[in-house]
Structure 1
Amino acid sequence: MANHSSLPPEILMPETFALVAGVRAAYVVEPTGEVVSLSFTDAARRLKSGPPPVLCHARQTAARLKMDGLRGFDVLELFAFIEPARFCLPTPGGVAQALGLSVPRGHEDEAISLLTSARTLLERLSARLTSDAQDARQAARLAHAMNAGGWPWARPVLAALGEGDTPHSQNAARAFRVWEGLPKWEERGGETPPGDAPVSPQEARQRLDALLAGGRAEKRTEQQMFTAGVTAAFDPCDIPGQPRFVLAEAGTGVGKTLGYVAPASVWADKNAGAVWLSTYTRNLQRQLDGEMDRLYPDPEQKKRYVVVRKGRENYFCLLNFQEALSRLQMRPDGAIALGLVARWAGKTRDGDMIGGDFPAWVGSLLGRGLTAELTDTKGECTYTLCEHFNRCFIEHSKRRAKRAKLVIANHALVMIQTALNAGGGAAAEGGAPTRFVFDEGHHVFDAADSAFAAHLSGQETADLRRWILGAEEGRRTRSKGLKARLDDLTADDEKLDHLVQDVRQAAHVLPGPNWRTRLNDTVSQAPSSGAAEAFLAFVRQQVYARDKGSDGGYSLECEAFPPIDGLLDVALELDQALMTLENPIKGLIKRLLNKLDDEAVELETSERTRIEALAGSLERRALLPVQAWRSMLKALRETPVLDGNATPEKPSDFVDWMSVERTHGRDLDVGLNRHWIDPTKPFAAAMSQTAQGVLITSATLRDEGEWTSADQRTGAKHMQSPIVYVAQKSPFDYARQTRILVVTDLNKNSVSQVSAAYRELFLAAGGGGLGLFTAIHRLRAVHERIAPDLDQQGFPLYAQHIDPLDVGTLVDIFKAEPNSCLFGTDAVRDGVDVPGQSLRLIVFDRVPWPRPDILMRARRDHFGGRAYDEMLTRLKLKQAYGRLVRKKDDQGVFVMLDSALPSRIATAFPKDVEIQRVGLKDAILETKAFLSDHA
């Protein structure tokens, strides 16, 4: 280091003011210590003419001040640099709490705390000169590089490290070479298949007792019974194609997570195999990972036995990062974002940028494109050709998962990979798992709906063209296309080279750069840019002609039948062009797989790995989508044209429709869509072929106490296996702990009345309110009216779709601030797990009936008409109500502002809780009295 003096380095604080923006006003701490409040206008004027302030989350602050942009000494950036890969809420209080400081109360106190937090962080960094000299050296090199990019904190950071402004080396880019310090993985031999030893209920209970030891959780009879019941999923499979299949509903408070972890971990220990634990939300994935500390208190042991697996698009890509570094000369300010990422990359547990230890607020702070740019979102991995392959986070994760005992995954990854394994093609993975637990099982239907859908759209087809051809028209990107990824293999294989050329030539039929601009032309004027663009232009015309809401700013849709004149002709032309693309892709995959046999003696392990990966990516990324698109075009052309009022016979398994995705009046995408009417059908088929044991569990599987809806929503009805049902009631006394109120005298169509209701109910509860909305525009309108009043009373209101923060972060803030309130839609309703006083009131704006779009209408016809709508609505209400009580001493009030809540829908709530239909005045009084009594 530069400082060779015995004197401690100087703590150099910025000579400027600290700023916090509330909802009504901004609060400033002057360098003299004086605290003043300013109007937003005065604050914005000062920011434009004065020095940059110390603040917390510049984008959030700028949004509140209604400014286009704002730079300053952001304490979050300083925290991310000094404490990389560490969790912290992106608020002044969150930073203070993470540093062990007093949590501020009120906006003025928050502004003062920013200065204290900043000084504390700099002091911690300075202390590393002696406690962690290597980290201090790395931090200094990066700070010099970030200083060249104009990072405001660079000089204070360098001063804390005893450094001057001038770096020791002129090669600043070397500071970013994080890959040099990352460990390498090595190839291992094939894994031994797991055994088939069962798990007895007694073994599962004993493991559960061990997990609960130490007094960190109470023992519950309900949990013991649940654990014993779900062990059936771990019995040996007796009949091929008939895995053990268990549906288990565990009411809130049973403790289902540890309840299934106990038998899963016993099975993994006894059989030397992995159980995959799948969740739907990132929040539960993170929570489940945390629970593993009970099973493996030693971090090294946990790292060896527990792996979090996600899709490739979630992980930090070292090659993408290196490519971004190459652009620093043209964009030196990019050094700030890349420097913060480099600090994180050197400390991360597994390189997960989406829901892992990469703070979500870093992406929102520096621009959401940051994570998309630095992850493998486009599927362009070069595998062993990549110089970082043996340090790759994705490959690390895949290899660790094969040796793990418990793999925490998500429904999307599990379903897609299981379907590929069942197909047995090039994309199938060897050593695939055979035991699965699907938590949040009420989302299996939705996850399968997304996983098995197909979209012949502008975005999907253009992405495939870019994946095959690489960058076009001088665009700067690392995307080199298929030829570059296979160049060394085609050099001495003329047939392989010809196949690559054929694929590239055929790919020109897909939409090229700037396809959206051309698509705005009318069909008659559509340029000859290929059959795909011509087809999409006809689709767009049909949608605009038939959707009655085409004058608005929202997305549009229409039935695919009957097609407009000319559409079938271009559909046939596109199908023939796609066949010209499909055939050489098939030949390319076959040729690559043949190389594994023909050159078995010569190929090194790394070469085999790469060829297998290339064949798999060709199947997954190109062949399967093209085949799905051709199937959709064939169905469109084969739809009979009938006279009179007759309708065509529709395919029994699918619903196809056309759509134009729009935002703010602009077309984003156009296409023909296909969804399974019952997506659990392919899910069940894949599980039948690959799994030996499946447990699907949730607090809300059944509807009105019957298993029919669970069978329908989980794929159980399609299984040949006998189904084992486990139901464990919640131990909570809902009649004592909750109240359910339906407001009868409110005009739900009046924004002012609904806003007043939310405001007064939240005030009556003293904060801790969750507002759920069935439409984003109503959420925005109510937030605009009541946020200032709540803020003035000391109850901050956070909101999905308004605050520039992801849902998980908003929920974390809501959980940490007991007097705060939160607005959200479905994602918030499903992702909230807030025990204690932080959530004591839920207010729903309307009965959450399903949106009557084309897909929903088809499913309603298939699953039973109105009864299907009512079942879905009850399950949504049951999920929302279940957020209210998470512990035995919780209490809360559930309020529905829609008087049109039918009694047949109200059966979603516990039978022993009286549903009170009251006026708004009485609802406010009852809320205040009930929560005051239990305070």
Structure 2
Amino acid sequence: MTTHQPAPPASASITVPPVPALVASPRAAVLVHPDGEIEENTPAVLGRKAADLRPLVCHEPATARRVGRESLVCHDLLALYAFVRPARFALPTVAGLAEALGEPRPTDLVEQALALPRLAGLLLEELTTLVRRNQADARTLAFAMARGGWPWGAPVLAALGAHGDSPHGATIARAFRVWERLTEISEHAPEVAAGHLPVSDAEARARLSDLLGGAAEDRPQQADYASAATAAFAPRERKATPHMVLAEAGTGVGKTLGYIAPASVWAEKNDGTVWISTYTRNLQRQLDGELDRLHPDPAEKARRVVIRKGRENYLCLLNLEEAVSRLPGQPAAAIPLGLMARWAMATRDGDLVGGDFPGWLVDILGRGWSLALADRRGECIFSACPHFNRCYIEKAVRRARRAQLVVANHALVLVQAALGGLEDGTLPTRYVFDEGHHLFDAADGAFSAHLSGLETAELRRWLLGAEDGSRTRARGLKARAEELVGDNPRAAEALVEVLHGARVLPGPGWHARLGEAGGRGPTEHFLSAARAQVLARARGQDGPYSLETEVAPPLPALVEAGAALETALNELDQPLARLMTALEQRLDDEASTLDPTNRQRIEGLIRSLERRALLPVRAWRAMCRALQAETPPEYVDWLGIERAYGRDMDVGLHRHWVDPMVPFATALATRAHGLLVTSATLRDGSGDPEADWQAAERRTGAVHVPERVRAAVPSPFDYPAQTRVLVVTDVRKDTMDQVAAAYRELFKASDGGALGLFTAIGRLRAVHERIAADLDAADLPLYAQHVDGIDPATLVDMFRAEENACLLGTDAMRDGVDVPGRSLRLIVFDRVPWPRPDILHKARRAEFGGRAYDDMVTRLRLKQAFGRLVRRADDRGVFVLLDPMMPSRLGGAFPEGVVMERVGLAEAIAAVRETM
């Protein structure tokens, strides 16, 4: 036990709470008392001691887990940071906060604990510099939060100079009503159609040169790539015959700026919009940063560039208002709502997922007070909402109509294509699909159908509203449509029939009724029969994993229940169609008198009825009919029980396209004028160049497009000189003690900078449990997806910030992770990532080439994982596979000249140590 002189407060108004500071690692913990006394002990011991002391910590959930407690009453510096610096980035670590505040990065646990009160003082001092209006709002929010029990309430109020009487109720309410202070959407005339002028090679190269700047190194591969991409921006010559370019660009080519160059030229020349789509939020965020080169002025960039995501990603102001309205009866809710209000006034665009909303704030507030405030149930009432003209989502939608570049994601783009177009019914004409190797998976999700308990119950809730007495704005279709139906008797009658027909869908408590009783109503009877067939035939029923079985041959009870459900769903299908027709007729009949607001509301309701109700109901009816005949050959159907944490969560009938690129081509590709599909891993590595291109064309949908252009630009990196690939032959991949020991020793040999990849979450957790303490003893920080409770993007940021950190992850870490430099110099993969042999894969395997299809999928996964290793010319690294059964034919996953070396673990450890 030692002592350290505590730092004095910065000024009289700054009072850091006189509580100890606590930091913990998997093996050790430090508690620094206000008088400077330092205690070092095990996490469990100091966790018990600090439990009643409200210590200073950084990231309460992670700290609580490390000291063996479910939660910890404390002063979390991240909560204070979120209040003082809303919508500003900081890593959720002591070192991350120190860096954000311009302080030296503490190294060991003692330095971190000593830093916590100093950082708290700096944040409190910063509050004194807020401008008057911001300071007044912050003071009022802090008062409400203090009254709700916020540990930081008193020191924050002192820093803000709160004196005298407390603010009255109206002032407090106004501070939380942030929507009243947001700017309104400005209206514009309809946009003119884009032109069709092409982009020349010279124009693309010139724009690329401007983006790179005069001091940039000469990168001929990047210019060649930009030239090849221009073909996607040529004018279309025939209907349903777009210019489609498949462009593979090796890592290091610089494809992002390579396609931004011709895309931005085309948008400017033609007064049009190019949609750039990514698969991961990481790349979407990187693209946003790269576009600062195109538009250095933030105001100009805001006009020309828009980031688009699905509605479920944005803060819904109506949800926020409803939460705020409950404050009088829930004073403690002022704490999370105060932090949300601070962020809502500072955010650029209201994006809760991957924007300027810190991912760690979800951990601090809980999902119910953060992500749940988004429109996650499709309940948007559009122009009927009192906040419609201030809505973050609507602002993004309208700005996207006038933008030159829209940065979206595959899920949004393909779902909108599946539903017939954007919110206004239009489709873009020019697309760039980055991370194009994921198009197949994205289309698979967008064009599938699920007749399951969760899906059908959610539709009932959308139509009927909450039926369990809970306080919610989900009042159902009647509340949203009654005013718009007006005096039209046909529409009013159809609305009544829709609400009646919705009762065939499962009601609250449906899951508990699926046992022997068979449930209530036709949908629950069907789900019960589906469950019975799965339990009768599926393998692995005693395990914790999800179950599935083929539909054919169906049990007689399933066929009977399916026929009854199809008939019942017809009683919902028909009135839905009649209601939509009646609303469309009103638009026509009252074209000259209907005010714009009501017209928008009716159009929005028609779109919602089609997308949320009519289309899924018709898909479910078709699936029920197939039970009486057979599944059409273009689809694959199966029955499944979804499990999580050993509990049954959902049950139902699922339908996917065998080749989802067929509907992709119909709904999007052939309706576009030009598409660029690009990636570093488009082609397979089978050894047959033509077969590899054909595989790329099949996976991207190009095979269904009349004309396409192929382009490949090799990486400028010298992979044989910069990398090694080692296959370890003496580790039993199914013996977790051996696998964990291999990870531990390899990570120690590289001195960190290591990414561990896993094919299953259970294997990741098992290894983490076995190696965390040993790596901590070696001063190697270990982060883990599915263990730390931190979102993947933040984990990657934490990993990137420390050269000797290690990170364990699954699929999300295998692709789309960009960590250049020494922070990533070793990748260890637990085993060959073969595709899961489920029913859907079985159908595709039969369609696309049997074992060759398995090999292609696996090579691409290995190729994507290896691609994380070298991100710039001076990177060096080792890729290790802990699977002695790795076939030589999969070696095409690695760059030409990189040879797989089969070695024992001891040799691999020595090779890693030598390379580093």
> SS where residue 346 of structure 1 aligns?
helix
1:579 aligns to 2:570 (yes or no): yes
Which deviates more from structure 2 when the two are superposed, residues 402-411 or residues 148-157? 148-157
**Structure 1 residue 638 displacement after superposition:** 1.2
After the TM superposition, which residues 260-275 of structure 1 pair with which residues of structure 2 at under 5 Å, given as runs? 260-275=259-274
Q: Is the 8 A contact 2:352 2:371 kept in 1?
A: no
After the TM superposition, which residues 778-817 of structure 1 pair with which residues of structure 2 at under 5 Å, given as runs? 778-817=763-802
Q: Distance in 2 between matches of 1:219 and 1:76?
A: 43
1:719 aligns to 2:705 (yes or no): yes
In structure 2, which of residues 632, 635, 638 is the aligned counterpart of residue 654 of structure 1?
A: 635
After the TM superposition, which residues 535-550 of structure 1 pair with which residues of structure 2 at under 5 Å, given as runs? 535-550=526-541
**Structure 1 residue 375 displacement after superposition:** 0.5
**Structure 1 residue 166 displacement after superposition:** 4.9
Distance 1:515 1:166, change over 3 A: farther
Q: Read off the aligned partner of 2:607 and give its amino acid letter.
A: G
Cα deviation, 1:672-694, whole Å, max 9, x if unaligned, reads 00011111110011124421000
**Structure 1 residue 823 displacement after superposition:** 0.4
In structure 2, which of residues 493, 499, 502 is the aligned counterpart of residue 498 of structure 1?
A: 493
Aligned to 1:647: none
Aligned to 2:244: 245
What TM-score does the superposition give when structure 2 sets the normalisation length? 0.97
Aligned to 2:452: 457
Aligned to 1:440: 435
> SS where residue 319 of structure 2 aligns?
helix
Aligned to 1:219: 218
Q: Distance in 2 between matches of 1:429 and 1:869?
A: 41
> SS where residue 331 of structure 2 aligns?
coil
After the TM superposition, which residues 219-368 of structure 1 pair with which residues of structure 2 at under 5 Å, given as runs? 219-368=218-367
Distance 1:755 1:513, change over 3 A: same
**Structure 1 residue 775 displacement after superposition:** 1.2
Q: Read off the aligned partner of 2:55 and give its amino acid letter.
A: P
Aligned to 2:159: 160
**Structure 1 residue 9 displacement after superposition:** 6.0
Q: Distance in 2 between matches of 1:810 and 1:479?
A: 35
Give percent identity, aligned residues only.
56
Q: Distance in 1 between matches of 2:599 and 2:670?
A: 27
In structure 2, which of residues 65, 68, 85 is the aligned counterpart of residue 66 of structure 1?
A: 68
Q: Read off the aligned partner of 2:315 and give its amino acid letter.
A: F
Which deviates more from structure 2 when the two are superposed, residues 622-631 or residues 132-141? 132-141
1:482 aligns to 2:477 (yes or no): yes
> SS where residue 667 of structure 1 aligns?
strand
1:902 aligns to 2:887 (yes or no): yes
Q: Distance in 2 between matches of 1:332 and 1:530?
A: 42
Q: Is the 8 A contact 1:9 1:161 kept in 2?
A: no
Q: Read off the aligned partner of 2:701 and give its amino acid letter.
A: G
Distance 1:636 1:428, change over 3 A: farther
**Structure 1 residue 165 displacement after superposition:** 7.9
Cα deviation, 1:755-807, whole Å, max 9, x if unaligned, reads 11100100110100000011111111110010111011111111111011111
**Structure 1 residue 148 displacement after superposition:** 1.6
Q: Distance in 1 between matches of 2:742 and 2:669?
A: 50
Cα deviation, 1:684-710, whole Å, max 9, x if unaligned, reads 111244210000000000012420111
**Structure 1 residue 621 displacement after superposition:** 0.5
1:39 aligns to 2:42 (yes or no): yes
> SS where residue 127 of structure 1 aligns?
coil
Q: Distance in 2 between matches of 1:8 and 1:360?
A: 32
Aligned to 1:205: 205
**Structure 1 residue 107 displacement after superposition:** 1.7
Q: Is the 8 A contact 1:418 1:690 kept in 2?
A: no
Q: Read off the aligned partner of 1:188 and give its amino acid letter.
A: H
Aligned to 1:3: none
For structure 2, list consecutive stretches of 5 or more residues without a partner in the other structure: 1-9
Q: Is the 8 A contact 1:337 1:366 kept in 2?
A: yes
Q: Distance in 1 between matches of 2:29 and 2:537?
A: 49
The runs of at least 4 consecutive aligned structure 1 residues that moved more than 6 Å come to none
**Structure 1 residue 431 displacement after superposition:** 4.3
In structure 2, which of residues 614, 627, 641 is the aligned counterpart of residue 636 of structure 1?
A: 627
Aligned to 2:3: none
Aligned to 2:616: 625
In structure 2, which of residues 820, 832, 838 is the aligned counterpart of residue 853 of structure 1?
A: 838
In structure 2, which of residues 19, 27, 40 is the aligned counterpart of residue 16 of structure 1?
A: 19
> SS where residue 258 of structure 2 aligns?
helix
Q: Is the 8 A contact 1:421 1:428 kept in 2?
A: no
**Structure 1 residue 497 displacement after superposition:** 1.5
**Structure 1 residue 47 displacement after superposition:** 2.9
Q: Is the 8 A contact 1:535 1:574 kept in 2?
A: yes
1:693 aligns to 2:684 (yes or no): no
What TM-score does the superposition give when structure 1 sets the normalisation length? 0.95
> SS where residue 662 of structure 1 aligns?
strand
Aligned to 2:181: 181
> SS where residue 543 of structure 2 aligns?
coil
Q: Read off the aligned partner of 1:637 and give its amino acid letter.
A: Q
Q: Distance in 2 between matches of 1:166 and 1:868?
A: 73
Q: Distance in 2 between matches of 1:242 and 1:776?
A: 44
Aligned to 1:120: 122
> SS where residue 831 of structure 1 aligns?
coil
Aligned to 2:748: 763
Which deviates more from structure 2 when the two are superposed, residues 134-143 or residues 159-168? 159-168
1:514 aligns to 2:509 (yes or no): yes
1:820 aligns to 2:805 (yes or no): yes
Q: Is the 8 A contact 1:309 1:407 kept in 2?
A: yes
Q: Distance in 2 between matches of 1:688 and 1:156?
A: 58
> SS where residue 270 of structure 1 aligns?
helix
Q: Read off the aligned partner of 1:661 and give its amino acid letter.
A: E
Q: Read off the aligned partner of 2:110 and give its amino acid letter.
A: E
Q: Distance in 1 between matches of 2:123 and 2:636?
A: 56
**Structure 1 residue 258 displacement after superposition:** 0.2
Which deviates more from structure 2 when the two are superposed, residues 780-789 or residues 328-337? 328-337
Aligned to 1:566: 557
Q: Distance in 1 between matches of 2:528 and 2:243?
A: 49
Aligned to 2:649: 668
Aligned to 2:6: none
RMSD, aligned α-carbons: 1.4
> SS where residue 85 of structure 1 aligns?
coil
Aligned to 2:397: 398
Cα deviation, 1:54-76, whole Å, max 9, x if unaligned, reads 10111111122221211211010
Cα deviation, 1:270-329, whole Å, max 9, x if unaligned, reads 000110000000000000000010000000000010000111111110000011112223
Q: Distance in 2 between matches of 1:371 and 1:632?
A: 37
Q: Read off the aligned partner of 1:690 and give its amino acid letter.
A: R
1:926 aligns to 2:907 (yes or no): no
In structure 2, which of residues 571, 592, 599 is the aligned counterpart of residue 608 of structure 1?
A: 599
Q: Distance in 2 between matches of 1:430 and 1:543?
A: 40
For structure 1, list consecutive stretches of 5 or more residues without a partner in the other structure: 1-6, 640-649
Aligned to 2:137: 138
Aligned to 2:869: 884
Cα deviation, 1:153-186, whole Å, max 9, x if unaligned, reads 1111111111148522233222201011100013
> SS where residue 321 of structure 2 aligns?
helix
Q: Distance in 1 between matches of 2:11 and 2:168?
A: 24
Distance 1:750 1:395, change over 3 A: same
**Structure 1 residue 214 displacement after superposition:** 5.5
After the TM superposition, which residues 827-846 of structure 1 pair with which residues of structure 2 at under 5 Å, given as runs? 827-846=812-831
**Structure 1 residue 554 displacement after superposition:** 1.1
Q: Distance in 2 between matches of 1:591 and 1:665?
A: 47
- Matched length: 901
Q: Is the 8 A contact 1:421 1:429 kept in 2?
A: no
Q: Distance in 1 between matches of 2:562 and 2:400?
A: 43
Cα deviation, 1:136-158, whole Å, max 9, x if unaligned, reads 11111111111121111111111
Cα deviation, 1:589-608, whole Å, max 9, x if unaligned, reads 11112221111111122221
Q: Read off the aligned partner of 1:600 and give its amino acid letter.
A: A
Aligned to 2:420: 421
**Structure 1 residue 262 displacement after superposition:** 0.2
**Structure 1 residue 428 displacement after superposition:** 6.4
Distance 1:741 1:8, change over 3 A: closer
**Structure 1 residue 430 displacement after superposition:** 4.1
Q: Is the 8 A contact 2:518 2:529 kept in 1?
A: no
Q: Is the 8 A contact 2:340 2:370 kept in 1?
A: no
Q: Read off the aligned partner of 2:572 and give its amino acid letter.
A: L
